Amino acid sequence: MLDREGFRPNVGIILINARNEVFWGKRIGEHSWQFPQGGIKYGETPEQAMYRELHEEIGLLPEHVRIVGRTRDWLRYEVPDKFIRREIRGHYRGQKQIWFLLRMAGRDCDIHLRATDHPEFDAWRWSDYWVPLDAVIEFKRDVYQLALSELSRFLNRNSRVPLSPYGVHHGRHGGGQRRPPQAAMGVPVVPAEASAAADDAVLPAAPATNPTES
pLDDT tens per residue across span 185-202: 555 678 776 654 433 333
Distance CA(126)–CA(16), nearest Å, equals: 8
Are 106 and 157 spatial neighbours (Cβ–Cβ below 8 Å)? no
pLDDT at 163: 59
Question: Would you call 154 helix, strand, or coil by DSSP?
Answer: helix
Residues 34, 24 contacting (CB under 8 angstroms) = yes
Helix (H, G, I), strand (E, B) or coil at 89: coil
Distance between CA atoms of residues 75 and 7, nearest Å? 11
Q: What size, in residues, is the chain?
A: 214
Residue 84 reports pLDDT greater than 60: yes
pLDDT tens digits, 30-54? 999 999 999 999 999 999 999 999 9
Asked if residues 114 and 145 have their Cβ atoms less than 8 Å apart, the reply is no
Cα–Cα nearest to 127, from 71, 165, 158, 172: 172
**DSSP β-bridge partners for residue 39:** 10
